[in-house]
Structure 1
Amino acid sequence: MSPRRPAVNEELRRRSRERLLQATVELVDERGFEGTTLGDIAERAGSARGLVSYYFPGKRQLVQSAVHRLMHLTLAAALERPPQPQDGRERMARAIDAVLGLSQDHPVLMRHHMAGILQADGFIQCAEQQRLAYLLHDTVARWGSPDPDTEYPMLRAQLMGAVFALLLPGVPMPLDRLRGELFRRYGLDWHLGVPPEGVLPSDGLPARAAHQR
């Protein structure tokens, strides 16, 4: 038996799983959670229906993993965009803008993701979530937190709360207000990251945090 075969099989499984995750993002964006079946996802991914159940115990778990993959890819692209940030504050600003931007670019998907987290199954610890967590933890450390292990879950909670507020049906919070509050907490000037076009801070001044490092 060729010693390379296990590595080849592992790569095929990885690609198959990623196709399912990408198909989930596309279909939930188009049809919503209820309007998307596991069969639809398998068909869009060009995979056998049984593979969905092989990789994921259910649709909610699949959607959470798909969103975490999307968040990881979006965040990684923002952090690697030239010129790559050398300053920890620019890195933090890009991370915040990348996550908030998903609520604008994928509102249907992100709304169902937030609703799924509040279900009995709660927050899914998957490989995609762990990759996302690594990037956010590293961002907190480079920003200059003296205790990244404590600050990382706080950043995660702040971002989740902001996304929820942006997507709340009927009474969504404005993006500039939420962005400004997060930038104040982390000591970031409004011009860092990717500021919303044509929008200034609500107080007309650069956002600053109360504490200084």
Structure 2
Amino acid sequence: MSPRSASVNEELRRRSQARLLEATVELVDQRGYEATTLADIADRAGAARGLVSYYFPSKREMLQSAVHRLMHLELAAALEREPLPADGREQLARAIDAILGLARDRPRLMRTHMAGILTAEGFVQCPEQQKLAMLLRRTVAAYGSHKPDTDYLLLRALLMGAVVAILLPGAPMPPERLRAELFHRYGLEWHQGAPPSAEPPSGAPVLPEG
């Protein structure tokens, strides 16, 4: 039997990593971070335990990569949803909704992710994070930014702040109100993206008529 080519090996590694990251998201979402072991993740992914340590330096870094991958995939799906966005404003609306939607629908997972970022371990620069960054930067550029590198960083900070506010134990902010604030900041109409209701919440800022 001839040895596998480099491209085949790379594809096998990519699939193996993807299964591990998917298993991480599933288990942490179901059980929580502390109750999820690396052995659990390997077992769910159908992979050898040693592969986990081979690909990822720690469980925390593995979780960050897994959540960044989930965010990237959710954002990509939103931007590619039919009918395709007609302009950059619709793209930005969908991007905001995709990230806020994860905080609303997967609070345990996203709270754990944000807690990890805010600890001494900090923000992990990984290929999955870079894919997410590329999509957000491209969205900001399509919106019309003349400084996408810096404006993308501002958008990321605003989204992270909104996610924290939604997930804040004991004093959460309603996602709809935060959505309205972000939409108003960027001059977006409430009906753009994937609105959670026909009208914005009472008291939320709205764009002036015309």
Q: Is TM-score (shorter-chain normalized) higher than 0.5?
A: yes
Q: What is the distance in 2 between the residues matched to 1:133 and 1:2?
A: 39
Alpha-carbon contact 1:180-1:202 (below 8 Å) kept: no
- Structure 2, unmatched stretches of 5+, are none
- Structure 2 residue matching 1:150: 3-state secondary structure: helix
Deviation at 1:86, TM superposition (A): 2.2
Deviations 1:59-94 (A, max 9, x none): 100000000000000000000000110211100000
Relative to the length of structure 2, the TM-score reads 0.95
Alpha-carbon contact 2:181-2:204 (below 8 Å) kept: no
Match in the other structure for 2:86: 86
Relative to the length of structure 1, the TM-score reads 0.93
Match in the other structure for 1:36: 36
Deviation at 1:54, TM superposition (A): 0.3
Number of aligned residue pairs: 208
- Structure 1, unmatched stretches of 5+, are 209-213
Match in the other structure for 1:12: 12
Alpha-carbon contact 1:201-1:207 (below 8 Å) kept: no
Match in the other structure for 1:211: none
Q: What is the distance in 1 between the residues matched to 2:25 and 2:134?
A: 22
| RMSD across aligned positions (CA) | 1.6
Alpha-carbon contact 1:21-1:66 (below 8 Å) kept: yes
Deviation at 1:200, TM superposition (A): 2.1
Q: CA 1:34/1:110 → structure 2, altered by over 3 Å: closer, same or farther?
A: same
Match in the other structure for 2:77: 77
Match in the other structure for 2:152: 152
Map 1:192-207 → 2, pairs under 5 A: 192-197=192-197, 200-203=200-203, 206-207=206-207
- Structure 2 residue matching 1:192: 3-state secondary structure: coil
Match in the other structure for 2:136: 136
Alpha-carbon contact 1:28-1:36 (below 8 Å) kept: yes
Q: What is the distance in 1 between the residues matched to 2:207 and 2:28?
A: 35
Q: CA 1:199/1:172 → structure 2, altered by over 3 Å: closer, same or farther?
A: farther
Q: CA 1:66/1:207 → structure 2, altered by over 3 Å: closer, same or farther?
A: farther
Deviation at 1:206, TM superposition (A): 3.8
Instruction: Write the letter of the residue equivalent to 1:22.
Output: E
- Structure 2 residue matching 1:24: 3-state secondary structure: helix
